[in-house]
Amino acid sequence: MSQSSQLVSVIIASYNHAPYIEECILSVLGQTYPHVELLVVDDGSTDDSVERIRRLQAEYGFDFQVQQNQGLTRTLNSAIARAKGELIVPFGSDDVMLPERLAKQVAYMADKPEVGICAGNIELIDSQGTLFPESRQRRDVPFRRMDFDDVFMERKPYAPATTLMIRKEALEKVGGFDPEIRLEDLAIELKITHAGYYIDCLGEVLARYRKHATNSYKNHRFMISSILRIYALYSDHPQYEFVRTRFLSSMFLKCSNRDRQLARELLAQIPFKKWSKKTWRGLMRLYFSPLEKG
């Protein structure tokens, strides 16, 4: 099948993002690439997301299902099973695609079967859709190809979740998303690169990531437990202890003047002989810096 006719299945799992869901859906419907299947699943929202989505569905006719809450990874797996596209794009219901995003990724992946995931750079927007200052953007990260060790050991800048385009063949090869792991992007990137595929990240902006009060990354306890669980799947890797300890030190530093109870729990998991500069900096913050709010 030629690149010009490959079907792309975009899956939006919507959950309590009523203020953002319409802009998100319209950004998919407004893509310059013509062969797009849009599947929207509301995963038990308690706000007025369903009503907003139904109004758009009546106008544009995309696939829309409503279900009781099952969680993101289970919702994605269910939608992927019925998706018709060879290329799968899981997309956050609070984010925004730039108009030529899908066209650029489809063209790039057309002759590269070794690439399981194509990604790109992002711009950051706030809850009102306003761009963050240039100094806080990830606009200018250059192209990089990543294998498993690059992702696991963070040797190169990460592939932003909101820009992932994944071969359905690769997803099927690794058994899809792990339904027991809620932090889906890191887990699937590791699974697919572990299976021998590459992640290629284009050095251009493809999407806008919205930062707001309910972003998952702000729940430190959730992020830490999820990432440690993902790393543990590869505990036979020779650098596993290094990767795990480095992550614990980074999160200890981040939490040291934000959530001191959590910081102490993290510190207890870092062997003294593995303490790094970040560990010592976190220790200074823990005992000598004022507690940050928010």
End-to-end CA distance of the chain: 50
Query: Which pLDDT value is given to residue 135?
Result: 56
Closest CA to 74 of 44, 50, 110: 44
pLDDT tens digits, one per residue of 21-45: 999 999 999 999 999 999 999 999 9
For residue 212, pLDDT over 90 is answered with no
pLDDT tens digits, one per residue of 41-72: 999 999 999 999 999 999 999 999 999 999 89
Query: Which pLDDT value is given to residue 270?
Result: 95
Whole-number Å distance between alpha carbons of 262 and 95: 29
Whole-number Å distance between alpha carbons of 270 and 285: 17
Whole-number Å distance between alpha carbons of 202 and 205: 8
Would you place residue 137 in the very low, low, confident or very high pLDDT band (cuts 50, 70, 90)? low
Whole-number Å distance between alpha carbons of 9 and 18: 22
Domain(s) of CATH 3.90.550.10: residues in the chain: 3-210
Mean pLDDT score across all residues of the chain:
92
Q: Which residue has 């079907």 as its token pair?
A: 7
Amino acid at 161: A
Phi-psi region of 119 (alpha: psi -120 to 50; beta: other; left: phi over 0): beta
Q: What is the CATH number of domain 3-210?
A: 3.90.550.10
Q: When comparing pLDDT for 126 and 279, which is higher?
A: 279
How many percent of the chain have pLDDT more than 70? 94
CB crowding 157-196: b at 16 or more within 10 Å, else e: ebbbbbbbbbbbebbeebebbbbebbbbbbbbbbbbbbee
Global pTM reads: 0.92
The answer to whether 11 and 79 are in contact (CB under 8 A) is yes
Closest CA to 36 of 25, 44, 46: 25
For residue 276, pLDDT over 70 is answered with yes
Query: Which pLDDT value is given to residue 58?
Result: 96
Q: Helix or strand or coil: residue 218?
A: helix
The answer to whether 152 and 243 are in contact (CB under 8 A) is yes
Q: When comparing pLDDT for 2 and 181, which is higher?
A: 181
Least confident interval from 28-37, 122-131, 136-145, 210-219: 210-219
Q: When comparing pLDDT for 70 and 139, which is higher?
A: 70
Query: Which pLDDT value is given to residue 1?
Result: 45
pLDDT tens digits, one per residue of 224-257: 999 999 999 999 999 999 999 999 999 999 999 9
For residue 289, pLDDT over 60 is answered with yes
pLDDT tens digits, one per residue of 141-195: 999 999 999 999 999 999 999 999 999 999 999 999 999 887 889 999 999 999 9
